Structure 1
């Protein structure tokens, strides 16, 4: 029988849970965190077309990206290992980082069923892909996931990446009309986590060419993202274009606005996260997947 490490929250997570008045609910959430991949989770991972992951680029900046493949490209050969039979494109902002051993946060989301699974651990390159040594495994509720179905295309080749320090007008429009993005944060000890954020189009507000904000809705009370931001402000965002496969990657720093005035700017918000952009990378057709029109989550405010 495989033993389980007793999970715990770090001081940043506990501080945010206490400020939100949800320590008891958060303690209950610890029951869902494991150090191994359950059989049902292994089956779920094996059926996925895409996985989202984040890491530090080696220069202190966090980024989020995606890797794709035919179902089966994600495998759990044992309960403590995840293999990914895919490698980042040359233009990917994490291409270099994922060529060496690095802490990663991984999230597999199946929009068609609104299921998601998060895995945190350490990745290393192997055989043209990745091997992740698992440290944390947990599922999340289906809230705020828009339902979509994928159609893979075999004739797609990622384009050359385009870098900038601020958002273009087109990119600003893409962010303000997005219904989904992914966010990577890390603790002060370098442990990385990647999470999903969703809402109706317009839930992300672009305040300027180098600043945006989004609402923090009612969730599972674990506050893994906000807990990391309590200790380290760095964050990396990914806005996928579901119709074209183009990826918009942002890196920068984030801070939480706990004021009632800030929350009032967003319907349903408990608090607001403000993000200052330090770098932008856009990769045309990074993903070969094309997705159906969304059916919005009934939980979206």
Structure 2
């Protein structure tokens, strides 16, 4: 196992106030690490420090020589360039030939269901499609470390599934995954080690109890008179679900089998119609 990045007693402050202090962590090949915590605790800042995108104010950081780090930001900038031109240029900057860049970008655009949007200027893309571009540019070449900042934000369910499978395969091949995330679903799916940011430092949590989880996927139609809105709070099922995905007409809910009956009852009471219910597995 190769040591890729080492942080020792790292701290970061803004406006003379520390948001991170005495952070010590090693990132090794094959690791899959998640930083979690409440909003504003410094998850994204720590991820940027790990990636050498933000300088720390205290402590030391050591990187493996010639390390290759890829990054999926939470917010991708809107630019007046097409998705295709941007991704192909990024691929060539990262060392691919023009032919290789075209082949790899086409493969990823197809995998993420956005082939019909590649000539659209990035500034006109939706939030979910912007996030796909952010993911695609990070997957163009195999990296030593892949940094993910809330990577599923806005992505459709098919793209999410492909992304998770792709990243898990990279991790099996040795790429270290370091992720900022608040979604329990994604944490259970991708991470091996969870660190919570608490009192400005990292606290290790080893409670990934649902590593091989059998679950139920339920699809509900909102009907003609309902607005999807915040399904979890409005239908009072926040504690019963693993993940909720909302589309124009459908709501997809992932949950443990023992909670599925109660969820169906509550959703139907609220006026939703059950369209599909299937068994799935999260390995």
TM-score of the superposed pair, with normalisation by structure 1: 0.24
TM-score of the superposed pair, with normalisation by structure 2: 0.25
Give the structure with the larger strand fraction: 1
Give the structure with the larger helix fraction: 2
